[in-house]
């Protein structure tokens, strides 16, 4: 279970409300005990430093300094401040993976993000570099909504409908290495939230249909908002239902076959959030991530990727008010970095990205001190065949205009 904060008003909440970690079958300390029913329950070899240790930051700094150029620390924008303080580079998932690849002399890449991001870094770095994820339980609920066996079953459904040969898969970066490899094997590509329109334009040059994985909202918003499609051109494929819950005729008539996945953070925002914010803050600029639902995007003033939101705030007029629909750690940081603007979180009731927040200072310190001691912990390794085909899909994206 991950600590969350249940309240917030105009300004971002100050801190997480930690839950008492008393031993219980239903409540486990992250990284210290195993729950075989959980997403990725793992044991850390050795005890984690206590979160209350006043010397924790100093220990992490000393370990990082000892490792020197042997280690390169990457921090995603959604990480908490106590973690990104130690990042050599901050960015979104693909930027960080490319930054890792651009540091061939770094023996260790410590990725403060989530599992699929560390996989991408391992795919793009050299064989002698080791990618470390400080807590293996840091997964991604969206990425986990598309398991490889489900996607292979879905492809057979497309074959039975007679459209697999005229369909290209396009997968969001927020997907597992196995899904990226599936995409590569079937002639498709990867996309980011910044270049989704470019990736889809490329796909439709040679295909009648696109199977878009795993975020239905990014796919729908891009198809309708950027490519000018109609809502009826898009259907949602539910892997939990026979045939995806669609008839062969519905599949054949669709241009965009959207996997029924979503981001648990961005999915929280509603049209009512936008209406309430406009009522409370006249003249506010509403900017949301394209992982938000279509009805939220339609009410917003601007839509932008993580990097796009950061750039929009940096270029905004002093004194302007901005309500942001994305992860809370980033919104808090943008408020601190732009004191001449009023920066608000779009929703009143919030939670952080729970899986991203599993990377905390105790886990980071433990990982760095383990490397100093000569112990490589929580290494992320993608098998060669999967890495090859995932790299094929990634390289197709890199070859696109503007990539």
DSSP for 86-120, written as a single string: T-SEEE-HHHHHHHHHT-TT-SEEEEES-HHHHHH
User: Is pLDDT at 151 greater than 60 in this prediction?
Assistant: yes
What does the pLDDT read at residue 319?
96
User: Is pLDDT at 46 greater than 80 in this prediction?
Assistant: no
DSSP state of 127: T
In terms of pLDDT, which residue wins out, 23 or 55?
A: 55
Please give the share of the chain, as a percent, with pLDDT higher than 70: 88
Residue with tokens 């509603």: 270
Fold agreement between 143-263+386-398 and 266-345: yes
What does the pLDDT read at residue 353?
84
Identify the H or E element spanning 286. Answer: strand 285-288
pLDDT band at 348 (very low <50, low <70, confident <90, very high): confident
How far apart are alpha carbons 130 and 83 in whole angstroms? Answer: 20
How far apart are alpha carbons 204 and 166 in whole angstroms? Answer: 10
What does the pLDDT read at residue 354?
82
The CATH class of the 56-140+356-372 domain is alpha beta
How far apart are alpha carbons 150 and 244 in whole angstroms? Answer: 10
What does the pLDDT read at residue 43?
56
The number of C-alpha atoms within 13 Å of 170 and in the hemisphere containing its C-beta is: 32
Note the pLDDT tens digit of each residue in 168-222: 999 999 999 999 999 999 999 999 998 999 999 999 999 999 999 999 999 999 9
Identify the H or E element spanning 218. Answer: helix 216-225
- 266-345 CATH fold: Rossmann fold (3.40.50)
- Average pLDDT over every residue of 233-238: 98
- Average pLDDT over every residue of 362-378: 97
How far apart are alpha carbons 308 and 291 in whole angstroms? Answer: 13
pLDDT band at 339 (very low <50, low <70, confident <90, very high): very high
Note the pLDDT tens digit of each residue in 80-114: 899 999 999 998 888 888 898 899 999 999 999 99
Identify the H or E element spanning 344. Answer: strand 342-345
The region of weakest confidence among 8-22, 69-83, 140-154 is 8-22
pLDDT band at 44 (very low <50, low <70, confident <90, very high): low
Domain residue extents for the chain? 56-140+356-372, 143-263+386-398, 266-345
User: Is pLDDT at 115 greater than 80 in this prediction?
Assistant: yes
What does the pLDDT read at residue 47?
73
Nearest Cα to 131, choosing from 381, 299, 332?
Answer: 381
User: Is pLDDT at 395 greater than 50 in this prediction?
Assistant: yes
What does the pLDDT read at residue 338?
95
Q: CB of 361 within 8 A of CB of 63? A: no
> Which numeric CATH code is attached to 143-263+386-398?
3.40.50.10800
Residue 170 to residues 91, 243, 362, Cα–Cα distance (Å): 22, 20, 37
Please give the share of the chain, as a percent, with pLDDT higher than 90: 77
What does the pLDDT read at residue 45?
61
What does the pLDDT read at residue 403?
59
Rg (CA), the chain: 21
Identify the H or E element spanning 189. Answer: strand 189-191
Nearest Cα to 11, choosing from 246, 318, 344, 269?
Answer: 344
- Average pLDDT over every residue of 220-235: 97
């Amino acid at each position: 279970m991950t600590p969350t904060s249940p309240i917030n008003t105009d300004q971002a909440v100050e801190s997480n409300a930690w839950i008492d970690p008393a031993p219980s079958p239903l409540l486990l300390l992250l990284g210290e005990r195993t729950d075989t029913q959980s997403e990725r329950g793992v044991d850390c070899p050795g005890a984690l430093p206590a979160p209350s240790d006043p010397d924790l930051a100093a220990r992490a700094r000393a370990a990082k300094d000892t490792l020197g150029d042997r280690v390169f620390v990457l921090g995603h924008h959604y990480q908490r401040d106590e973690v990104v303080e130690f990042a050599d580079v901050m960015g979104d998932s693909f930027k960080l993976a490319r930054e890792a690849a651009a540091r061939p002399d770094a023996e260790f890449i410590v990725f403060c993000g989530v599992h699929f991001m560390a996989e991408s870094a391992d795919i793009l770095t050299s064989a002698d570099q080791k990618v470390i994820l400080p807590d293996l339980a840091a997964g991604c609920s969206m990425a986990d909504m598309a398991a490889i066996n489900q996607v292979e079953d879905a492809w057979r459904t497309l074959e039975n409908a007679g459209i697999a040969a005229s369909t290209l898969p396009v997968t969001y970066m927020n997907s597992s290495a196995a899904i990226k490899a599936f995409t590569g094997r079937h002639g498709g590509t990867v996309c980011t939230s910044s270049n989704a329109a470019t990736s889809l334009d490329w796909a439709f040059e040679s295909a009648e249909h696109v199977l878009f994985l795993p975020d239905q909202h990014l796919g729908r918003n891009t198809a309708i908002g950027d490519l000018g499609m109609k809502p009826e051109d898009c259907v949602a494929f539910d892997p939990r239902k026979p045939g995806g819950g669609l008839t062969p005729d519905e599949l054949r008539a669709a241009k965009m076959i959207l996997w029924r996945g979503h981001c648990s953070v961005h999915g929280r925002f509603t049209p009512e959030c936008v209406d309430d914010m406009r009522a409370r803050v006249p003249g506010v600029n509403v900017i949301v991530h394209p992982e938000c639902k279509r009805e939220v995007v339609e009410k917003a003033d601007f839509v932008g990727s993580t990097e796009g939101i950061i750039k929009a705030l940096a270029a905004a007029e002093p004194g302007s008010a901005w309500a942001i629909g994305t992860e809370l750690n980033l919104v808090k940081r943008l408020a601190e970095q732009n004191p001449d603007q009023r920066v608000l979180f779009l929703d009143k009731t919030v939670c952080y990205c729970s899986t991203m927040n599993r990377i905390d200072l105790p886990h980071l310190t433990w990982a760095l001190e383990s490397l100093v001691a000569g112990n490589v912990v929580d290494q992320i390794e993608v098998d060669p065949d999967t890495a090859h085909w995932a790299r094929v899909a990634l390289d197709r994206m890199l070859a696109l205009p503007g990539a």
